[in-house]
Amino acid sequence: MDPFSYICILTSIVAGLAVTRLVSGFGQLLQTRARTPTYWVHTLWMVNVLLTIVITWWVQYRWRNASHWTLFLFLWLLVAPLILYLVAALLFPTSDDVVVTNWRQHYYANSRKIFLLFGLTFAIDLIDTSLKGFTYFWSLGPLYYGSMSLHITLCVIGAITISPLYHGFFAVFYLIYNLGMLGNNLLRLM
């Protein structure tokens, strides 16, 4: 087994735990929706975080050609999946942790922590990309730098404001943006 495959095992487990948390949370929403009404922004962020976990896991594959592995690099690759797991845990606490009686209130009570952590993943991505070499970093072009900066800014605003209009806009924008980027990548591969 090569070092990258060995390291990917743990990062994949952490990402898998985050996905499990979100999917089981969605199941919880389906089971309890009659007595605990869902909140569409919260549900949409569940989808957004799930999509981000999958993209993050896929992007980590770019490290497959690294020739020298260190404990620091291994720990670095664990940071984003760990943070995304924490975001998933904030969106869907286990029933033993917190009994949610109103998903809207739960979402806004945790939105500051959710978006500070979520925004951190984009800052980590910028650092991660620069660790692959500045030639690679600059090769990604202005769309990459602009989108990372935009996402960080939108997350900071999301952490500061509790405006339902803003949170609804951000949830929809983030989903459309990512689906557009994924669609664009799929079309380029064909």
Burial of 119 (0-12, 13-18, 19+ CB in 10 A): buried
**For residues 73-92, average pLDDT:** 92
User: What's the pTM?
Assistant: 0.90
DSSP character string of 83-140: HHHHHHHHHS--TTT---S-HHHHHHHHHHHHHHHHHHHHHHHHHHHHHT-HHHHHHT
Per-residue confidence band for 129, with pLDDT thresholds at 50, 70 and 90: confident
What is the spatial distance between Cα 188 and Cα 190, in angstroms, rounded to a whole number? Answer: 5
Give the chain's domain count. 1
- Domain extent, residue 78, equals 3-189
Contacts of 10 (CB under 8 A, 6+ apart): 78
The yes-or-no verdict on residue 42 having pLDDT over 80 is yes
